[in-house]
Structure formats: structure tokens, C-alpha cells
Amino acid sequence: MMASIAPTSETKCLLKLVVNDRAVSVAAPPVQRLSRVLREQLGLTGTKVGCDAGDCGACTVLLDGEPVCACLVAVGQVENHAITTVEGLKSRPPLFDRLQNAFLQHGAAQCGACTPGMLISATALLERNPSPCEREVMDALGGVLCRCTGYRKIINAVLDAAALDARSHSEASPAAGASVGQRLVRLDGKGKVNGTEIYGADEIPAGALGLRVIRCPLDRARFRFGDLDAFVAAHPGVEAILTSKDVPGEDCYGVIPRFADQPVFAHDEARHRGEAVAAIVGDAEVIESLDPASFPVGWEELPAIRSIDEALAPGARLIHPHRPENVLTGGRVVRGDVERALGEADAVVGGEFETGFVEHACIEPEAGFARRVGDQIEIQACTQSPYMDRADIAKLLGIPAEAVRIIPTAVGGGFGTKLDLSVQPFLALAAWRLRRPVRMVYSRVESMMCTTKRHPARMRCRAGATKDGRLLALDFAADFNTGAYSSWGPTVAARVPVHASGPYAVPHYRAVTRAVHTNIVPAGAFRGFGVPQMAIAQEQLYDDLAIRLGIDPLEFRILNALDNQTPTVTGQVMGEGVGIRACFEVLHPKWIAARAEAVKINAAARGPIRRGVGVAGMWYGCGNTSLPNPSTVRVGLKGDGRIALHQGAVDIGQGSNTVVAQICADALRAPVDCFDLISGDTSITPDCGKTSASRQTFVTGKAAQMAGKELRRSILRLANFREDAVIDFGESSLRMHEGGEQSKFSLQGLPLDQYGYVLTAEQTFDPPTSALDENGQGSPYAVYGFGAHMAEIAIDIELGTVSVLKIVAAHDVGRAINPTLIEGQIEGGVAQGLGMALMEEFFPGKGENLHDYLIPTAGDVPPVESILIEDPSWIGPFGAKGIGEQAVIPTAPAILNAIYHAAGVRLRRVPATPDRIREALLAHASRGQTGVARG
Ligand code: FES
Ligand code: FES
């Protein structure tokens, strides 16, 4: 592998390249990265940059027909060589048409950040081998990381490319009123597969300044600036240095206003490694070439609190003086009499479980630009929460919210981390003050160093059951390391106690949680808000309980599964839509067969490989926990007969742009291809809340359904037709059909409303929930999603390595609005759950790159069989529930239970890396136990 290239200020040369079959000349230092020249000089931003280190493959291009990482290639090395980027693949029809179409049909592009690299790698493969086998495809794609899809749809798309014809995907648009339930191709998919989608780093406004943040290199430090004016004077091109003194408004932000505690720049003392203390703004090239070590700041290292134990130790220094015992906040749900029930139980099991930091590893690092337009600040950046960003930026600048415009770009993976502000405050402050556009892109190291992580958890629990297998009680306590600032710590602390029972009837229950401050980078939202960590403990514990009782683990779960009439641990009775038993039952025949097969294989095993099969269940409340959670959708009939759908749900790859349109289309009874999507921009789109907590299909989808129905009613009223009339949306006219009669209604010349539409409907939906009382009793969510995963694994009991062979994932989604997109969420969730179970752990200050921090590659993720259960929710649009978070939760515990089945060892600390498994196996052996799968 070639070494990475340091930025250089070497003299520029005129270099001749052949890019996408066109001869071009560029003036660049010969050592400049090819990726940068392609993107910044030639405007070929289809080539993405995820790491600048050869680790992610996002920048893959063809060099004389061979795939290479353009970030590792010096432009001077490729003079007169042929370079092909994703934009140039169109000159390779019909192969590229087929590939593109296959990617769209399979839903192989979610966020799309990896897609150009995948397409280039696949093209190289198919050009030399038109009929590759699955292994050859996996090998060819092995250098490109994808964080969204779980790879299976990409692999299948490549395998199918030869078989598909090259028809445009848009020909398959469903008829009016028939979109829901269809495998509609992602409406925003085309830009993802042809390289035209605009992400945070893809636009550079003319004259944009660069910005570099100076960050604390220590876990905790006092700091003092030297002569900042002298630094500016000594560096021509540097326009300004920003520090905490330059924040004109209230210097305190955070995603939950009541807990907001984060300054843009630390004041005198930095509370974690990577915390910003200053920013240098100026000419982009000058800023880039600056040596940050030359910045005049002195650090005095202070004692840091790095662990939950240190933070909670009696007399520990307080990281935030107003938060006693370093506890940010806690959560509590109590029902029945846990101690008495455990005392009366026929079997009681207990254990302590621990999980580490997990990095989101979005392929797209945080990026964007800001500019001041009069007295308004505009920020174009990748974000999951434009309206929350707007509120915080307004507060920081001390200006009204209406003076802040957030324009979300496409988001190259979010998974929760892009709910928090990243580049936005720096850009806003700089552009506001300097009245020039300012742009910045986090490096991979910066992204990993200073953006949020999954909360590490330490969980202690006991569970008891009767001898016939009825769960009696669960006692659960968890501490979450929330890092130096609050971020989403309160949400994790509140959500986990509601969910720690799992999707089961547990009459006696106590769950208490704390979010604990340390001097570590803040932990935040990551797909599941603490529930995946919790499920690792609870689902392993229930497995232990079933085994202790001699009951089949799946049958134990079926026996205890929640139903429509059984109260949850918060006392909520759903009444309908509780599909967990169906999820378990659909796995049952596969479970029986797979368990028997594993036992047979293990009985005949000669070497160290053992097979195991595990299962785990999950439930997950959609939306905020007992808090308002509204989405507002506006839909307008345009004078040209098309429909404008203003929905602010940011599509981070999960597919809300498509799903919300499908729902609205069916409510309006219009074909989905009549719609023009207007997404996200806070100046033109109502607030649809944040993209998190599996709320967009449910909450925004419901608002879209209501708005669609309302617009339909308005149209029928305007045209004087009855409720069941059929409307054909034509060019500048509507054709109405009713009782065999037909008439045309012209839209031309009709007056337009304040939004510029002939008619507008706007509807808000806020899920009905209730506040929890002091014992956590109430209805925290209007809708829950349910699911169960079965994992088949092979373990090498000498090496401690685990291969996941297959996952069967059954999910109750209420109504599958778009089965392809749901499967994509499931497969992506499985991949992240697999990573969490077996390989992913982030150590702050170490391995802040995608070389040392391992995420699953194409070769790690097994086939996933998705089974969709449709037990409609009472209130979701067409009965739909969420799936985004749900998909990740059961995978890790199912794998860990499979490891136990195969080898008899219970992994209480994840990830279950080979060294930890090996240690557990040795301990197990020293106790004279053997690990063989039981029936
Ligand atoms: S950007 Fe080149 S490999 Fe990641
Ligand atoms: S679709 Fe592959 S990284 Fe998002």
C-alpha cells in the first residue's frame, strides 16, 4: 500500500490528464492528491473522500481501467494516464446503465457516499469478468466500505447487473393510490448513482475562506493564548482568529435545551480531548498549509476523569459544578415488587455486562459552508436536524431564528451523530463576522476525535422466572458514560428504563439508569439511543434464564412475549399492533432446523470449528420519549398540475424522501411521479423534526398522509366534485371522473396563494403520548416496532474467531410502505449490530482512523433473510411503524447467544473480539466445562 500524502504547498505545475475520455490540463503541485484535483479543480465531486488514507475506498477511480484510491495517488504520477470517475462511467454503456439500474432496483445506494466507489469497483470487475460469482464480487468490493447497506444489496446488484435490462427506473412508477407497499425505486436515487448528488463537502462557494479548528490535545487542560494578533500579522492570508470571546450570543448549545451545556470554544479549560478552543479563518490554501503546532496556545494538563468509576467515586471533582456526583441525569421505571418476586422465583440469574464506545463511522465526514446574506446567515451542511440547528445557531449568534437558514445537503450517513452540531457553529460565527463565505470539511481524524459516539454502558441485572418459564421479575441498573457534555445523554437515560424488559411481559420490574459525565468526547445518539447496549445484557440474561430452566430459548421468548392486552413495564396497554409473538413464531421452524443442524455438525466436528444458533428479540418506541414530537408537512397543487411536497424529514439514506412521498401520494390518490420533492431547507419547508428515533415514516409520514388527504378534499371542493371522484393530474389541468362522467378542470390563470400554489394543505401530527410519573408509569410512545433476529455462527474455539453465517431477521413494521427500503434498513442494521458484537470499539485518543477502527466489510456480513410482519399500528400512516433503530438492536445479542450455544461461553464484555472469546474459553475450560451446542 502506498503511504499517505501530507498536504503540500509545493509549486504548481501544469499537468495533462485524460479524465473521462477528455484531455484536461490542471495547475497543481505534482504531489497533490488526485482525489482533490478531481473534486476541486475539475468539479468531479462524484468521487468522494472519506478518509484521505486509503481506508474507505470512497475515492475509488479507474486508472487505466484498474480501480485505485484517488486519495493515495499523486496527480503528478498519472500524467497522460486515463482516469475514469463515476461521472465518466456513462461512456461505458450498456454496462454502466445496467449497473446503475441494478443499484436502483436493489436499493443498493442508501446514503450514497460509498456508491461511486462501489460502482467504479464493480465496473472494473465486470469489464474483466462479466459473470462473476458472489465471492468474486465480494472480493472486488472489499476495498470500499459501506456503513449503511450491509453490502448484500450491493453484492446482489452487481450480480444482477448482467441480467437486468437498461430501462430507466422511472418507467415503473405505480398508478394513483397504489404506491404504498410497492418496491418503488428511491426517488432521490439517480443522483446517488451518477455522482451528481451534493453532499456537505461538494460545494465551494466562490471566494470561500477556509477554517481550521484548534483542538485540545489532552483529556483535560487549562489553556492560555499567546499573541493572537501577532499570529495573524505573521501569516498573510489569515483573516481572523475566533475564540470564545467572539461568540456574540449565548455561548451554550445542546440538542436538549434544558441540558444545553456546550460552548462553541472552551473558556480557559477544555473538558475533553478534541474540544475546540479557537478557529483560524482565512485563505483556504493558507489555512490548510498552516502547522497547527505553530498556533500560540499553551496547555497545562489537568487531572482527567476517564471512567464511570472515577466519575462516581466519592469526592470526585465535578466536571460541571451544577451536576452533583457527575450525574447528568437519570431514568427510572418501577412496577410491582421486584425483591419479593425474585425471592419467590424458581430460577434467578444475574450478571454484569459492559459495552464500549462505538464510532458512527459515516463515510462522509462532517462538512459544509456558511455565508452571510444581509442580516441572515445561511448554512449549507450535512445534518439530521435542520430546525434544531437553526435554533442553536440563532442562540449562539444572538439573532432571531428566522435570520438563520439551514440548507441540508445530502447526508453521507448519520446514524445519530449528525443530530448534533459539528461544523455549523464555527462556520456561522466566521461567516457572520467576516461577511465572506466560509467552508470547512472535517478530516477523518477530526471527525472521529470530536464527534459523538455510542454510549459505553455498564449494566447489572437479575431476572427471575417460575419453573414453567414465566418471567416474574427483572432488576436492571445501568450507567452510561456520557462524556464531557450532555448531547443525548438524557435521552439514553430516559429511554433505556422503558425498554429494558425487552418485548416481554414482566410483572415486577425495576430499571434505573444514570448518564455520567467524564472527560471524554461526548457520547450522543447512535441508532437505538442505548437500547442496543441494553439488549446485549437483557437478551443474554433471558437466554441464561431459559437455559437454567431447561426451556428452549425461543420458546421461552414466545411464552413471555407481550401481546395487545398485556401491560408493558410502564403500564401501557397497546390494544393492537403488538407483533412480537409473530416475529418469534415465524422464526420457529428455522430455529428448530438450524439448532438441530448445529448440534449434528458439532457432534461430528473433528477440528476446532463449532456451530451455534442464537436468538434475540427487541421492541423500540418510535419517536421521543413522552415528549412532543411534531412534524408538519405542506403539500401544494401547482399551476402546472404537479404536486409540491414540502417535507423537512432529512433523508440520511433511510429513504424518507421516497416513503413520505409514497404515503402522501396514496392519501391524495395521485401517482407518485406527479410529485416534486422539496426537502429540508428551513426557509421553504415546515419543521419535520429530527431524523432520529425511527420517527420519520411514522410521524412525518402521518403528517404527509393528513396533508395529502386535506389537499384532496380541497381540490374536490374547488372543482365541485364528490369525495370519491377520481382525479387525474395533467399538464396545467385536472381531469375529474365521477360516476362515469368526466370533466376537465383547468388550473391556468387561477390565483395563487402565499406559497405560490393553487391550493395548499398543511398538516401537523404529534404522536399522542403521556408523561411518565415518578415510577415511570405512563404511555411514553404511541407506537412501538418489534423484531427478532436469529443468528447462525461458526466459532473457532482455538482462535476465538467468529464468522456469522446467516441472520434471519423478522420485523413487525406495521405496514411495509416500501419493502426494499425496509430490507435495506434491516440489512444495514444487521451489519452495525454485527460490528458491535464482534469488532467495533473506539478508544478515545487511539485509532482515530478507519484503518485501526474496524467496521464490517463486504466479506464480514452474511446473507440476511428479512421477514416482514405487518401488524398495523393504530395510528401510523397506513399502519406503519419505524424500522431504522429497530433493525440494529437484536443482532448483537443473537450473535452472542449463538456463541454461547456453540461454545458454552457467555461474553459479558463486547465486542467479543478473539482475545476476549479466547479468554472466556480458557476460563470455561479451566472449570472443566466443554462447549458443545445443545438442542
Ligand atoms: S478517501 Fe481515499 S480511501 Fe478513503
Ligand atoms: S450507502 Fe454505503 S455508505 Fe451509505
Confidence check: pLDDT of 15 > 90: yes
The model's confidence at residue 348, banded by pLDDT at 50, 70 and 90, is very high
Residue 163's pLDDT is 72
The model's confidence at residue 165, banded by pLDDT at 50, 70 and 90, is low
Query: Which DSSP string do the residues of 752-774 spell out, in sequence order?
Result: --TTS-SEEEEEEE--------T
Confidence check: pLDDT of 4 > 60: no
Confidence check: pLDDT of 404 > 70: yes
Max CA pair span of the chain: 87
**Terminal Cα distance for the chain, rounded:** 47
Residue 171's pLDDT is 52
The model's confidence at residue 173, banded by pLDDT at 50, 70 and 90, is confident
Only one residue has cell 505534482, namely 30
Q: What is the pLDDT of residues 313-340, one digit of tens each?
A: 999 999 999 999 999 999 999 999 999 9
The number of the ligand 1 atom at minimal distance from the alpha carbon of 850 is 4
The number of the ligand 2 atom at minimal distance from the alpha carbon of 362 is 3
Q: What is the pLDDT of residues 872-922, one digit of tens each?
A: 999 999 999 999 999 999 999 999 999 999 999 999 999 999 999 999 999
The number of the ligand 1 atom at minimal distance from the alpha carbon of 55 is 3
CA angle 526, 532, 538 (to 5 degrees): 160
Computed from CA positions of residues 708, 712, 717, 719, in that sequence, does the dihedral angle turn out positive or negative? Answer: positive
User: Which residue is closest in CA terms to ligand 1's atom 3?
Assistant: 54
DSSP state of 39: I
- The number of the ligand nearest the C-alpha atom of 201 reads 1
Q: Is 148 in the pocket of ligand 2 (CB under 6 A)?
A: yes
- The number of the ligand nearest the C-alpha atom of 61 reads 1
Could you tell me the distance, in angstroms and rounded to a whole number, from the CA of residue 69 to the centre of ligand 1?
6
Which range (170-179, 581-590, 843-852) has the least confidence?
A: 170-179
Residue 108's pLDDT is 97
CB environment 794-831: b (16+ within 10 A), e (fewer) = bbbbeebbbebbebbbbbbbbbbbbbbbbbbbbbbbbb
Of 363 and 628, more confident: 363
The number of the ligand 2 atom at minimal distance from the alpha carbon of 412 is 4
Could you tell me the distance, in angstroms and rounded to a whole number, from the CA of residue 443 to the centre of ligand 1?
11
Query: Residue range 15-38: average pLDDT?
Result: 96
Residue 442's pLDDT is 98
Q: From its phi and psi, is residue 577 left (phi > 0), alpha (psi between -120 and 50) or beta? A: left
Could you tell me the distance, in angstroms and rounded to a whole number, from the CA of residue 67 to the centre of ligand 1?
12
The number of the ligand 2 atom at minimal distance from the alpha carbon of 413 is 4
The pLDDT > 70 percentage for the chain reads: 97
Could you tell me the distance, in angstroms and rounded to a whole number, from the CA of residue 779 to the centre of ligand 1?
46
Q: What is the pLDDT of residues 890-902, one digit of tens each?
A: 999 999 999 999 9
Identify whether the C-beta of residue 612 lies closer than 8 Å to the C-beta of residue 899: yes
Which cell is 851 given?
Answer: 484503518
* 617: β partners: 788
Only one residue has cell 404506491, namely 179
- The number of the ligand nearest the C-alpha atom of 144 reads 1
Q: Is 112 in the pocket of ligand 2 (CB under 6 A)?
A: yes
Q: Is 58 in the pocket of ligand 2 (CB under 6 A)?
A: no
Ligand 1 environment, Cβ below 6 A: 49-52, 54-59, 69, 71
- What is the pLDDT of the chain when averaged over all its residues? 95
Could you tell me the distance, in angstroms and rounded to a whole number, from the CA of residue 110 to the centre of ligand 2?
5
- The number of the ligand nearest the C-alpha atom of 38 reads 1
Query: Residue range 390-398: average pLDDT?
Result: 98
Among 48, 59, 111, which residue has the most ligand 2 atoms within 8 Å of its CB, making it the best to mutate? 111
- Sheet with 367-373, edge to edge strand ranges: 238-242, 276-283, 209-215, 438-441, 367-373, 376-381, 404-408
Identify whether the C-beta of residue 664 lies closer than 8 Å to the C-beta of residue 635: yes
User: Which residue is closest in CA terms to ligand 2's atom 4?
Assistant: 111
Residue 5's pLDDT is 40
